[in-house]
Every structure is written in structure tokens, then in C-alpha cells.
């Protein structure tokens, strides 16, 4: 695992709306203030950067294809049930609703209500879980698919292990958990680790001298660390690969 830092997201510099922390992870409040700023600048999903939308659309279509396969194996009229953990502004979820307009019960999760501004128009409030999973989820609802898209980076390892282990119990028979990673760490040799450590020392100096303030954004994980996390959470039939979505997004799934 390797820590990484960020100065902006979706073209919005963090220093314009928040105090950035070099050692503390961005928390629910940070994301809430970020989304308030994002909604001030962008009126709807189509205002978000084009390349980002194209990438997310491809990822959502890939998920939709898997969901279609699950749906054909179901009884007539029985919906597929899907949960998105850390759905953000819900762009991928909007695409999923376009791809599967009927026969899908889509549930959402975000740590605060703020990011749900656009999705509230499309999803009833009883299908939106606000808070940190798994604690904020209903233990009575089970899913065909639970996915985490570009959000595991902000979850500390012990919390990630616990979350996956508990989400596994919320799957319907044959259901799957899918993690799409936007933060894959490709190699982690000792030399690369040392170079990264030195870079972080310099980043820290620049941060505290006020020259270049950065926010501790989370962790990059290697493929082996993802696979090991899935195994530790007792997930079975683990598979992984990369998506042809322009960003070579890494995916891993288990049952
Ligand atoms: C980079 S965004 C990804 C949004 C969306 N899933 C996507 O792929 O575009 C990460 C999201 O994770 C959310 N998040 C941060 N910590 C979380 C937690 N502990 N549980 C659930 N979501 C969290 C943030 O609020 C943010 O919306």
C-alpha cells in the first residue's frame, strides 16, 4: 500500500473551499464541503469533465452487462438488486438506470446527504443509505451485486477488510461484490518505495511551508493486496482484470 495526496478533484482546488490536512484522511465533512462547491460550479452531470464521464459511462455499461446476465437467470418479474457504495454524485448510477430502465432496484450509499442532490430526483429516499458502510446499511436487504467504484482508496485497510466481510453476508445466493479501482499501485519494489518516501518528505515540507498544500487522499493498493483483501474477507471465486475504459481501470470480484 502506498499513501497518495491530492490538490484538486474534478478541477476544483481544495484550498479554495477547505483546510487541507497532510496526515488526516479527507473525512465525510471534507467530501460534503467538496460536493457543496461542486454543485455551485456544476448544474448537472453533463457539466462534469467529458473524459471523466466517458470513462464512468464505460464502467457503468460493463456493470450493466453483468447485471443483465444476472437478470436473465432470475424468475419472471423478479428485479435485480444492486447497491453502490460511495456513489458520489451518482453519474454511473444514472447510466445504469438508462441501461436497465426496468427490473432493477438500485440502492445508494454516501457518507453525507450533500452528494445526493442530483440522485434524489431518481432514487427514492428509502433506497439511499447515508453513513459509513456496513453500519449504515439495512441488515435485512440482500443484493445480487454490491459494487465499490473508485472509493476503496479512502478506506483504511482494517476497515476495508471488515466492510467486505460484512458486505459478503448481504449478498443473495450467487451475488457478487465488485471493486473498481482508480488507484491501482502497479509495482512496489523497495527502490520505488524509498523514492516515494523521499517524495512524500518533500511534499510534507512544501505543504507545511505553504508553498503547495496537499490533502492526504488515501492509499494505492497493488493487485496482490486487493486479491489478499478479498481472500481475507472469505470471498470465493475471485476474478480480476482491467477494463477498456480509457483508464485501464482494475476490477476485482468475489462471491
Ligand atoms: C472518488 S469518489 C467516487 C464516486 C463514484 N463511486 C465514482 O466512481 O465516480 C469517492 C466517494 O467515496 C465516498 N466516501 C468516502 N469515504 C467513504 C466511506 N467511508 N464510505 C462510503 N463512501 C465513502 C466519498 O464521499 C466520495 O463520494
| 18 — pLDDT class (breaks 50, 70, 90) | confident
pLDDT of 194: 87
**What digits encode the pLDDT tens for the residues 76-101?**
889 999 999 999 999 999 999 999 99
| 77 CA distance to ligand 1 middle (Å) | 32
pLDDT of 185: 94
**Ligand 1 in reach of 89 Cβ (< 6 A):** no
pLDDT of 80: 97
Counting ligand 1 atoms within 8 A of each CB, the residue from 151, 161, 166 with the most, and so the one to mutate, is 151
pTM: 0.95
187 pLDDT higher than 80: no
**What digits encode the pLDDT tens for the residues 108-130?**
999 999 999 999 999 999 999 99
pLDDT of 84: 98
**Ligand 1 in reach of 132 Cβ (< 6 A):** yes
**Ligand 1 in reach of 108 Cβ (< 6 A):** no
What are the boundaries of each domain within the chain? 49-192+221-254
Contact 218, 154 (CB under 8 A): yes
Mean pLDDT of the chain: 95
- Mean of pLDDT values over 225-253: 96
Q: What percent of the chain has pLDDT over 70?
A: 100
pLDDT of 146: 98
**Ligand 1 in reach of 151 Cβ (< 6 A):** yes
Q: Which CATH number fits domain 49-192+221-254: 3.40.50.410, 3.40.50.261, 1.20.1530.20, 3.40.50.150?
A: 3.40.50.150
Amino acid at each position: 500500500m502506498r499513501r497518495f495526496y491530492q490538490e484538486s478533484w474534478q478541477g476544483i482546488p481544495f484550498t479554495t473551499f477547505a483546510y487541507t490536512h497532510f496526515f488526516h484522511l479527507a473525512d465525510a465533512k471534507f467530501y460534503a464541503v467538496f460536493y457543496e462547491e461542486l454543485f455551485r460550479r456544476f448544474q448537472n452531470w453533463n457539466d462534469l469533465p467529458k473524459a471523466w464521464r466517458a470513462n464512468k459511462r464505460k464502467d457503468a455499461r460493463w456493470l450493466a452487462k453483468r447485471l443483465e446476465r444476472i437478470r436473465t437467470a432470475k424468475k419472471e418479474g423478479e428485479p435485480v438488486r444492486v447497491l453502490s457504495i460511495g456513489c458520489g454524485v451518482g453519474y454511473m448510477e444514472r447510466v445504469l438506470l438508462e441501461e436497465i430502465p426496468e427490473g432493477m432496484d438500485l440502492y445508494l450509499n454516501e457518507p453525507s446527504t450533500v452528494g445526493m442532490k442530483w440522485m434524489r430526483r431518481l432514487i427514492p429516499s428509502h433506497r439511499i443509505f447515508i453513513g459509513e458502510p456496513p453500519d449504515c446499511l439495512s441488515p435485512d436487504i440482500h443484493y445480487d451485486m454490491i459494487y465499490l467504484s473508485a472509493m476503496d482508496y479512502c478506506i483504511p485497510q482494517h476497515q476495508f477488510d471488515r466492510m467486505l466481510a460484512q458486505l459478503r453476508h448481504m449478498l443473495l445466493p450467487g451475488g457478487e461484490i465488485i471493486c473498481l479501482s482508480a488507484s491501482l499501485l502497479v509495482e512496489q519494489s523497495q527502490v520505488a518505495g524509498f523514492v516515494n518516501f523521499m517524495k512524500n518528505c518533500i511534499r510534507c515540507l512544501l505543504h507545511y511551508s505553504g508553498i503547495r498544500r496537499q490533502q492526504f487522499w488515501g492509499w494505492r493498493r497493488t493487485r496482490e493486496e486487493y486479491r489478499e483483501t478479498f481472500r481475507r474477507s472469505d470471498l470465493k471465486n475471485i476474478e480480476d482484470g482491467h477494463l477498456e475504459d480509457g483508464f485501464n481501470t482494475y476490477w476485482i470480484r468475489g462471491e
